[in-house]
Structure 1
Amino acid sequence: MQHSSSEDDGKFSPTSPVDDRGSTILSAPEAPEPAPGLNGNPVHWYDADRTEPYTRIEPFQEHQDTSIEFFYKPVTLTSLAVALAALGYVATTQDVLEEGRDKRRVGAYAAVAGFLVFSMIQFRDGPFIRPHPAFWRVVLGLNLLYELALVFLLFQDLNSARAMMTYLDPNLGRPLPEKNYAENCAFTPQNIWNAIDIFCLAHALGWFGKALILRDYWFCWILSIAFELAEYSLQHQLANFAECWWDHWVLDVLICNWLGTYAGMKACQYFEVKHYTWRGFRQSRGIRSKTKRVFTQFSPHDFTAFHWHGTASLLHYVTVVVLLAVFLAAELNPFYLKSLLWMEPDHPFVIARLAGVFLCALPAVRELYQYINDPRKAVRMGQHVWLMLATIGTELLAIVKWSKGQFPAPLPTTVRIAWSFGAALLVLYPVGQFGIPSARRYLRGRLHTPRTKAQ
C-alpha cells in the first residue's frame, strides 16, 4: 500500500530519495571505499601526465615581457655550460693567472660570480621586469651576499673586522682624521661657496633616488628633516655630523635635498602620465627605431603612483613610521660603518653600499606598498623587502656591538628629552586618531545592544 497522504509527505524533503515503488529511503547504504590507484592499478610518480598544468612550476611574474623574444627564452643549460667552461679554463690553465696568491683571490671572486649566476637563473622573479627580471635577481643575489658577509663580520671583534677589510683593500686599516664642519659658521656668501663640494651633488642625486623610491613629497620632506635632526642628535659621537646651521637647513634641506626631490618627483610624474606602447625588436623598423627600442628597455614597463595614506588606518600609520625608521637607519648606518671600519666617505665600498641600497630599495618598497594596499595579491612579505629589513637590522647589530668603548661621550640631556618627546608624540597620535574612536564605537555598541534573558 502506497503512502500518499499529505501528513506523510510533509515529513520528508521534496528531494528525499525514493525507491522504484515510490517509498522514501531514509538512509542510503555507505559506498565501499575505493581501491588505491587508478582502476585498481597502482600509480607511480613517473606515470604522471607532465602536460597537466599542476605539474609545471609557473614563474613568479604572471605576464612575461616578450617584446625582445631572445632574452626571454630559457637558457639555463647554456649558461651552466658557459660558466663551467670559463671556470675550468681560468682554474686549470696558466694563460690567464699563475698559481698562487692571484688565483686565491680570483677563486673568491669566482665563488661570488658562481652564486650570482645561480641567482640570475634560479631565484624567483621580483615586481620589476625592466630591463630584465634576471637583473633584479642578480640584485637580490648581491643583497644576499652582503647580508651573509655582515653576518660573518657580526661574530668578529672590531679589530678583527678592520683587519679583514685589508684583505679586500690593502689601503684600509688606518685611522681616519677627525673632520668638523662647524668651525666657521658665519652666514656669508664666501662661507657658503666654500662649503659647496662634490657631496652637494651626492646629496641631490641621493634625494633624486629617494623620490623615485618613495614617490611622495611629504614622505621625502619628513625624512629629510628627520635626518638633519638625527645629525644634531649624534654629533657628540661622529664629528662630521657637526655642521653650521645654514649647512643643515639651507644648503642641505632647502637646496640640495629639495632640488633632488623635485627632480625625482617630476620624473615620477612623467612616468605616471607616459603612454607605454611596447613593440618587439623585430617589429621595429629602421636603425633609429631599433636603437630607441633598445634604450627604452631600460625605462619602466609601467609606473604605479604611491599613495601611502599614513593617517587612513592604524596599519598604514605603522607602515609609514616603520618605513621612515628603516630609511633613517639606512641613511645613518654607513656613517657609523665607515667610521668604525676606517673608510673614507668616497671609498668605493661606501659608494657601492649606497648604490646597492638604492637598487635593493626600489623593488622592496614596491613589494611593501603592494603588501599593505592589496593583501589579496600579496599574501606574504616580498623577498626584496624581507632581505632589505634583514640587512639593515644586521648592520645595526654590528654597529651596536662594535661601538662599545668607541663613543665614550654620553647622550646629551637635551637630545634625550627631545627624542623622548618625539617618541611620545608618535605613540599618542595613533591613540587619539585610532584608539579612542575605536573604543567609543565599541562602548556605544555595547550600550545599545539589547540584553537577552536566559531561557
Structure 2
Amino acid sequence: MAKPEPKKSSSSLGFGNKPASEEQEVSNGPAEPPVTGAAHEPGGRSKPGKRSTESEVYDDGTNTFFWRAHTLTVLFILTCALVYVTLLEETPQDTAYNTKRGIVASILVFLCFGVTQAKDGPFSRPHPAYWRFWLCVSVVYELFLIFILFQTVQDGRLFMKYIDAKLGVPLPERDYGGNCLIYDPGNTTDPFHNIWDKMDGFVPAHFLGWYIKTLMIRDWWMCMIISVMFEFLEYSLEHQLPNFSECWWDHWIMDVLVCNGLGIYCGMKTLGWLSMKPYQWQGLWNIPTYKGKIKRIAFQFTPYSWVKFEWRPASNLRRWLAVLGIIFMFLLAELNTFYLKFVLWMPPEHYLVLLRLVFFVNVGGVAMREIYDFMDDPKFHKKLGQQAWLVAAITVTEFLIVVKYDPKTIMLPIPFFITQFWILGIVLILTWTLWRFFIRDITLRYKETRRRKQEGSAERERPPSNSSKTPVTSGRSKLNGDMDPLRQRKS
C-alpha cells in the first residue's frame, strides 16, 4: 500500500514536535500551494483562511487505527455489559445501593454516547474523544447542579451524604489572618512560625493553578489583572468568609508575587516556546528510529498546533466588553470554589473539591479557545462554542446555589470604605469606556471633518494655474470633431 503524500496544513488544534533527526523530517513532495485552515487528521475543522497568529503545521496525513471512531466497538462492549448485568448478575436487595448503581450506569451510558458521537471541539490532542469526554462531563455536572439547586437547603446537604457519608456536617472555616508578624521575637524556638504555618498545600496549588490559567488566557496583563483583582475581592469579602482573612504579606508577597507571579512567568515562557517551535507531524510507523518513535508518543500529549491570542481589548467596544466579561466570569468561578464548599459543608481537602478543579482545568482551555475564536472571527464562528456555553452556565448555576443555600452570608453588609472603593473603580471603568469608544471617536470624527473642510476651502481659494486651463480648439478641429460621427455612419 502506497504511503500517503505528505501534506502541508494550518490548524489551531494544539502543539507539534520537532524531528529527532534529519531522517525523520517530513518530505513535502512536489511544490504546491499550502492548504490553509484544514487539519489533516481526525477532529480537524476546515476554515476559509489562516490567521496571522496561527502556526503552520506539516502533517503527512497518516490515519491509523488510533484515530478512528470505533462506534460499533463501543456499542458492542456496552451491549455486552448490559446483557451481563441483566442475565448473569443477581440484583442486590439494597435500595440505596441499587439507586447509586443505576445513576452511575446511566451516566456511563451517556458518556459512551458522547465520546463516540458528540461534536468535536477546537482541540484534537491527545485524542478528540478525550475532549468529547469532558464535554459530556460538563453536561452531567450541570445537570447535577440543577438538581441541587431545586432541592431545599436541608435536602441538598443531606444528598451529599449519598456521595460521601462524611459530608453533611458543618465545618469550621480556617482563618489565615491573626498574628501577621513575619518575625515573632516572642517565640524563641521558631520565630518564623507564622510563615511556616501559611506554607500548606495551597502554595504549590496556587503556582500550578496560575501556570495553567496562563496557558488558557495566553496574555500577561489579563492574568495579572485577574490575580490582583482576586486579592482585592478577598479583602472585600473577608467579613463573609473567614477563609479570606489573610495577612498583608500573604496577600501580596506569597500569593501575587511568589505563587501567582511565578506561575504566570513560567506560563508565559512556555507560551513563547510554543509560538516559536515548528509543528511537523509524522505517523508513528513512518519514523525510522526508536528514539523518534518514543518522542512522537510523548508529543501526542501536546497540542497539534498553536494560535497566539491577541485580545486587543481597546480596539473596539465589542472586544472591550467581551474582555470585561471574561475577567468577571473568571473571578466568579474563583469565588465559587470557596463559597460552594462553605454552603455544602465540604472540607477544602475533600476529593470533590479537587475533582472540580481538575474539571475546570480540562474544560477551561477549550472554553477560552472557543471564546477567542468567537471574538476574533465572528463571520466564521457565528455562535459561541458548546464548551464555552456550558462553562458559563455552570459558573452561573454554582453562584445561584450559593445564593439560595446561604443568602444571609451573601447579604452581609459590606463595610462602607470597601463600598466606596468599588464604586470608585466602577465609575473609572465607565468613564474610560465612554471616553475611549464614544467621546474620543466623536472628537476624532469632528477633527477629521473640519480638516477636510479646511482643505476644500483652501483648494477653492487657490488661483488656477496654466496647466489647469482647457485648451482652445480651432475651427478646423471643431469641424473635424463634428464630422467624425458622420464618417462613422458612412463607413
Shorter-chain-normalised TM-score: which range? 0.7 to 0.9
Is 1:343 the equivalent of 2:327? Answer: no
User: TM-score if structure 2 supplies the norm length?
Assistant: 0.75
Q: 1:407 to 1:394 in 2, by over 3 A?
A: closer
Residue deviations 1:346-378, cap 9 Å, x none?
111111111111211101111111111122221
Match of 1:334 among 311, 322, 337: 337
Distance 1:420 1:224 in 2: 20
Distance 1:68 1:193 in 2: 53
Residue deviations 1:195-218, cap 9 Å, x none?
111110000010011011011111
Match of 1:62 among 36, 46, 49: 46
Amino acid at match of 2:239: H
Distance 1:411 1:160 in 2: 30
8 Å contact from structure 2 (residues 206, 259) kept in 1: yes
Name the residue aligned to 2:116. Answer: 121
Amino acid at match of 1:133: P
Q: CA RMSD in A?
A: 2.2
8 Å contact from structure 2 (residues 43, 124) kept in 1: no
8 Å contact from structure 2 (residues 374, 384) kept in 1: yes
Q: 1:62 to 1:87 in 2, by over 3 A?
A: farther
Distance 1:297 1:91 in 2: 39
8 Å contact from structure 2 (residues 173, 242) kept in 1: yes
8 Å contact from structure 1 (residues 60, 124) kept in 2: no
Q: 1:273 to 1:241 in 2, by over 3 A?
A: same
Distance 1:89 1:66 in 2: 40
Ranges in structure 2 where 5+ consecutive residues have no aligned partner: 1-41, 48-58, 184-191, 454-491
Name the residue aligned to 1:362. Answer: 365
Is 1:324 the equivalent of 2:309? Answer: no
Residue deviations 1:60-89, cap 9 Å, x none?
723999545112223212211111112222
Distance 2:293 2:88 in 1: 41
Distance 1:446 1:408 in 2: 52
Q: 1:429 to 1:117 in 2, by over 3 A?
A: same
Is 1:419 the equivalent of 2:403? Answer: no
How far the C-alpha of 1:440 sits from its partner, in A, is 3.1
How far the C-alpha of 1:156 sits from its partner, in A, is 1.4
Name the residue aligned to 2:107. Answer: 112
Name the residue aligned to 1:192. Answer: 195
8 Å contact from structure 1 (residues 215, 265) kept in 2: yes
Distance 2:117 2:132 in 1: 8
Name the residue aligned to 2:172. Answer: 177
Distance 1:232 1:186 in 2: 18
Name the residue aligned to 1:281. Answer: 284
Percent of pairs with identical residues = 39
Distance 1:164 1:110 in 2: 19
Name the residue aligned to 1:243. Answer: 246
How far the C-alpha of 1:405 sits from its partner, in A, is 2.8
How far the C-alpha of 1:389 sits from its partner, in A, is 0.9
Give the number of aligned pairs. 391
Name the residue aligned to 1:436. Answer: 439
8 Å contact from structure 2 (residues 403, 410) kept in 1: no
Ranges in structure 1 where 5+ consecutive residues have no aligned partner: 1-57, 450-455
Name the residue aligned to 2:129. Answer: 134
Distance 1:442 1:75 in 2: 60
8 Å contact from structure 1 (residues 166, 173) kept in 2: yes
Any idea what SS the aligned residue of 2:393 has?
A: helix
Name the residue aligned to 2:376. Answer: 373
8 Å contact from structure 1 (residues 165, 172) kept in 2: yes
8 Å contact from structure 2 (residues 206, 255) kept in 1: yes
8 Å contact from structure 2 (residues 374, 383) kept in 1: yes
Amino acid at match of 1:300: P
Name the residue aligned to 2:318. Answer: 315
Match of 2:157 among 151, 162, 183: 162
Distance 1:231 1:138 in 2: 34
Distance 1:209 1:218 in 2: 15
